[in-house]
Chain A
Amino acid sequence: GENVEQHPSTLSVQEGDSAVIKCTYSDSASNYFPWYKQELGKGPQLIIDIRSNVGEKKDQRIAVTLNKTAKHFSLHITETQPEDSAVYFCAALRRDSWGKLQFGAGTQVVVTP
């Protein structure tokens, strides 16, 4: 089945700096890659997603890049702010689907003022 690896597990950045989280997936048939953000005490919430026919997608300060050949995708957050502090999960749509996602282990991002 699909396997998604996510790095790093924790990331500490100074406010205003950029943060990058990287994920790799195993199933070349996967074609949908969302990123979820989980704030303290809340459930994960979709922040950006990308399909395999696109190499990059941007939404204000966040962007996602996808390299299908290498089977990896990354989340980029620019000009980080304290409210970006959260746990971020990458995911890939599974082949045995019905819409099921395979999640990475998560990255705890801490933005220090």
Chain B
Amino acid sequence: DVKVTQSSRYLVKRTGEKVFLECVQDMDHENMFWYRQDPGLGLRLIYFSYDVKMKEKGDIPEGYSVSREKKERFSLILESASTNQTSMYLCASQGLGTFSSGANVLTFGAGSRLTVL
């Protein structure tokens, strides 16, 4: 089974701090995603990467950046955390291929709950 690991389950940070959220997948998937989950808003795409060093903005990229130096690792960076970035952050990976091989299926990590004080 594909495994997506988010290293920090719970973080508490102060306003203005730089925050790194790390995500590692072990199935050689090309695509990786960062979503933000808030009640009533569902899952909103922050950033997406389709290859090493390649990234694309999602729907809510403001205040965030990402890094993908290796295929298995996709990091989300909050340059200067603010209270409105308090949320659950979900990383996901996705392989390429045919529908029958499972393409388009996202495999999510367990999430990182960030509180910014």
Q: How many A-B residue pairs have CB under 8 A?
A: 59
Which chain A residues lie closer than 8 Å to B40 at the CB level? 9, 105-106
Q: Which of A13-21, A45-53, A72-80 contacts B (4 or more CB under 8 A)?
A: A45-53
Task: Please name all residues of chain A whose beta carbon is closer than 8 Å to the beta carbon of B50 when the two chains form the complex.
Answer: 98
A109 close to chain B: CB less than 8 A: no
**Residues of A close to B104: CB separation below 8 A:** 32, 34, 49, 93, 99, 101
- Residues of A within 8 Å of B45, CB to CB, are 100
- Which of A32, A45, A89, A106: most chain B Cβ within 10 A? A106
A98, B58: Cα distance in complex, Å: 12
Contact of B74 with A by CB under 8 A? no
Interface assignment of B24: CB less than 8 Å from any CB of chain A: no
Query: Are A44 and B43 in touch, CB under 8 angstroms?
Result: yes
Q: Is the interface of A mostly helix, strand, loop or mixed?
A: strand
Q: Is there an interface contact between B103 and A6, defined as CB atoms closer than 8 Å?
A: no
Interface of B: prevailing SS: strand
For residue A41, CB closer than 8 A to chain B, the reply is yes
Q: How far is the CB of B3 from chain A (nearest CB, A)?
A: 11
Query: Cβ of B58: which chain A residues have Cβ within 8 Å of it?
Result: 100
Contacts of A100 in B (CB 8 A): 33, 45, 48, 58
Count the A residues whose beta carbon is within 8 Å of the partner chain — how many? 24
Closest B residue, CB atoms, query A32: B104
B60 within 8 A of A: no
Cβ–Cβ contact B94 & A99, under 8 A: yes
A46–B56 touching, CB < 8 Å:
no
Report B38-94 residues with CB < 8 Å from chain A CB.
40-45, 48, 50, 56, 58, 90, 92, 94
Let me know if B43 and A43 touch, CB within 8 A: no
Q: Which residues of A contact B31 (CB under 8 A)?
A: 98-99
Q: How far is the CB of A37 from chain B (nearest CB, A)?
A: 11
Q: CB-defined interface of B84-117 with A at 8 Å, one 1/0 digit per residue?
A: 0000001010101001000111101111000000
A-B contact pairs, 10 of them (CB 8 A): A32-B99, A43-B108, A99-B96, A99-B103, A100-B45, A100-B58, A103-B44, A104-B42, A106-B42, A106-B43
Interface residues of B (CB under 8 A from A): 4, 31, 33, 35, 40-45, 48, 50, 56, 58, 90, 92, 94, 96, 99, 103-106, 108-111
